[in-house]
Amino acid sequence: MDTQGIMALALELAHQAEIPADSGIDVPAPSVRRALFGIDADSGDLLIAKQLGYDVLINHHPTGGTSQVRFPEVLRRHRVLLELAGVPPDAAERAVQSLLEEHESAAHARNYDKLPSEARLLAMPLMAIHNPCDEIGRRVMDETLRAHLPSNPTVRDSIAVLNRIPEFNKALTKIVVRMGKDANPLGKWVVIHGAGTNGGYPVAKAAFDHGIDTVFYIHVDAGHLRRLREEYGRDGRRSLVVTGHIASDSIGINVLVREMRTRGVSVDCFGGVLDV
């Protein structure tokens, strides 16, 4: 496989027609036999990959170039997830605009060529596969819940179902109820993942204000959580379940890693990926 083939495989598994804005190939590799797969690559990781003779360093989070500069575009995916969950388009769009306001200036300010320039200097192939892996992970979580939830489930039941996924079982972090209580009825629920980053206050609010009782995030910022708790009550009827960043990211990464291995690529996971 070459780096293009690896990206094409990720898109196929994610049912995506084109490379999302937060993903891309910084330095291509014509032939990949051994790949190193991590989450938060820095210069040290590039050197490790180079020194150990890997053909490519595949990183989950955006590495630079357009995957960092165009990153905010994937935040629009929150609108799709909210609408699928029954949130009216105008409310979903307002939530996205609020997220864009928060993230666009940071993306614009980023030193986007640092890692790619180092990869070029080292002649070390480098690529970022972010949204395809997260979309795969979102689907695994969503489908696992749909398949195994008992009737009239509580929030506690949903956590027990998610813990069947090996990555959650293996992770040091546990799935936590950050708002609401585990005895709450699960009610109408939505898994918000695979949309750049967590939807913070605006996306959870759009969901809670339009009939959704439980929101699943993989992570949430403390300031956004505080605002949600102030509005809906720390132990109220609306529940925010946070599944854990690295465990959740690993779910989608591992689906891709397994498929690469069946195609003859030797893949080593490092840098936090939970290899299950």
Interface positions with Fe ion (CB under 5 A): 134, 249
Q: Give least dist CB 61 to Fe ion, A.
A: 6
Residue with Cβ nearer Fe ion (9 or 247): 247
- Residue 30 and residue 215: Cα distance in Å, rounded? 42
The CA-atom distances, in angstroms, between 252 and each of 60, 182, 189, 201 are 10, 26, 20, 25
Q: Which residue is nearest to Fe ion (CB)?
A: 249
Residue with Cβ nearer Fe ion (45 or 249): 249
- Residue 20 and residue 219: Cα distance in Å, rounded? 21
Residue with Cβ nearer Fe ion (144 or 198): 198
Q: Give least dist CB 102 to Fe ion, A.
A: 17
Q: Give least dist CB 114 to Fe ion, A.
A: 19
Core vs surface per residue 33-72: b (16+ CB within 10 A) or e: eebbbbbebeeebbebbbeeebbbbbbbbbbbbbbbbbbb
Residue with Cβ nearer Fe ion (40 or 235): 40
Q: Give least dist CB 235 to Fe ion, A.
A: 28
Which of the 8 DSSP states describes residue 264?
A: T
Q: Give least dist CB 219 to Fe ion, A.
A: 8
Residue with Cβ nearer Fe ion (130 or 238): 130
Angle 167-21-30 (CA atoms, 0-180°, nearest 5)?
A: 80
- Residue 181 and residue 119: Cα distance in Å, rounded? 47
- Residue 224 and residue 234: Cα distance in Å, rounded? 13
Of 243, 190, 158, the C-alpha closest to 82 is 190
Residue with Cβ nearer Fe ion (116 or 194): 194
Q: Give least dist CB 264 to Fe ion, A.
A: 26
Residue partners of 247: CB distance under 8 A and separation at least 6: 167, 168, 170, 171, 173, 274
